[in-house]
Structure 1
Amino acid sequence: MTAGLPPAVLAGYLAAIVLLMLTPGPDMMFVLANAARYGARAGAVAALGVAAGEAVHVAAVVAGLATVVAASPVLFTAIRWAGAAYLVVLGVRALRDAGRPNASADRADGRAGRAFLRGLLTNLLNPKMILFSVAFLPQFVRPGEGPVAAQLVLLGALFVAVQLTVDLALGLGAGRIAGRWGDSRWTRRVDRVCAVAFVALGIRLAAG
């Protein structure tokens, strides 16, 4: 056994998070938007930013901070509204840029550099990730089979690894397609779809 967790529990956990990671959400749409607009490098950097944000959520769960945030209506609502506003802003910017030609190489490099921070914020400002981390990870902990903190760290590390693998594959794949097709209608359509998705997700998040 690893960190006190039976192989059957780990197998069930991995199957669950793989299915979850394949479900579209703000993080996936952000990675896709960056890759389609600025290339594979920007998509990969965005994926790293998202993974870093999830690592912070996992650390908060281990430290007990996530439970405090989830139990505070005022703090949780503030994060929810900040996350909703941020998604809407991302959507409006993506919609504004959808009709423009792709950026030059220098500008694209700059966008790639900022993609990490934006990916980090996209994940951190999603209050549903806080609730998810608090509610989901402990379900697979077996207190009688080892230190709880060690089990949470292992579960969190596996979650981040799977998320990073899926998002990297998406970012690199979409970026290569966008680079091959250049300023095609496909790229502009992806921009618009991501823009609408960001705004819709922001509105949905604000509505609770």
Structure 2
Amino acid sequence: MLGLSVATLVGYLAAIVVLMVTPGPDMMFVLANAARYGTRAGVVAALGVATGEAVHIAAVVCGLATVIAASPVLFTVIRWVGAAYLIILGVRALRGAGAAPSGRPEQGGSSGRAFLRGLVTNLLNPKMILFSVAFLPQFVDPAQGNATAQLVLLGAVFVVVQLAVDIALGAGVGRLGARMTDGRFSRRVNRICAAAFVALGVRLALGS
């Protein structure tokens, strides 16, 4: 298929599954939205994240990601902006951790806002840029066919698998939160995600 062998695709899927089970800002954002605003918000946030990933893949195909990764100043700016954004999300989540005491999804989490924030969270993650530049090309073999087509296929597989994982997590957390009548589950998930946002932001700012 487009020059990619079955063995290559299986190895690639195994690699991205390992990456996806490691919690990151995208996963935390989807969980936070699902816990606070309900299943729909979690799913829409996952769609926003997936759109951001598609943009990263398109940048790799066009060569833009390589330019960004090779520019220390531009990459540092993106890293700092991304770190600040994650910390702001964490602080806001902590401030709202006591909301929705009845256990019902909190009002005010519009689909458009969830999608946009998911998109921005992914786009401002410099590790996604490095991943796109350094990881995807490892599975491309120009001798087996069109390298661009292989990159597009690998990127599409990544987006689809990531979207499936995030939607499953968002839907699961959203439904579970809606069943908890006292709201403790939603508040706990929100606090955990908030702390994760701040920790990930600080770690990103330190360049680790």
TM-score by length of 2: 0.95
2:176 alignment partner in structure 1: 177
Distance 2:106 2:125 in 1: 31
The answer as to whether partners of 1:38 and 1:102 remain within 8 angstroms in 2 is no
The answer as to whether partners of 2:49 and 2:118 remain within 8 angstroms in 1 is yes
> Can you list the C-alpha shifts for 1:131-172, whole angstroms capped at 9, x where unaligned?
011000000001100011000000000000000000000000
Measured after TM superposition, the shift of residue 106 of structure 1 is 8.5
Measured after TM superposition, the shift of residue 101 of structure 1 is 2.4
1:77 aligns with 2:76: yes
The answer as to whether partners of 2:86 and 2:200 remain within 8 angstroms in 1 is yes
The answer as to whether partners of 2:101 and 2:183 remain within 8 angstroms in 1 is no
The answer as to whether partners of 2:140 and 2:147 remain within 8 angstroms in 1 is yes
Point out 4+ residue stretches in structure 1 off by more than 3 angstroms: 102-106
Where in structure 2 are the equivalents of 1:51-66 lying within 5 Å?
A: 51-66=50-65
The answer as to whether partners of 1:53 and 1:121 remain within 8 angstroms in 2 is yes
Supply the RMSD in Å over aligned alpha carbons.
1.5
1:26 aligns with 2:25: yes
Distance 1:134 1:71 in 2: 10
Distance 1:75 1:173 in 2: 38
1:134 alignment partner in structure 2: 133
2:88 alignment partner in structure 1: 89
2:122 alignment partner in structure 1: 123
Measured after TM superposition, the shift of residue 185 of structure 1 is 1.4
Distance 2:202 2:152 in 1: 33
1:9 alignment partner in structure 2: 8
Distance 1:130 1:199, change over 3 A: same
1:107 aligns with 2:107: yes
Structure 1, unpaired ranges of 5+? none
AA aligned to 1:25 is G
TM-score by length of 1: 0.95
Aligned length: 206
Distance 1:129 1:157 in 2: 15
Distance 2:87 2:7 in 1: 41
Distance 1:62 1:131, change over 3 A: same
Distance 1:183 1:85 in 2: 33
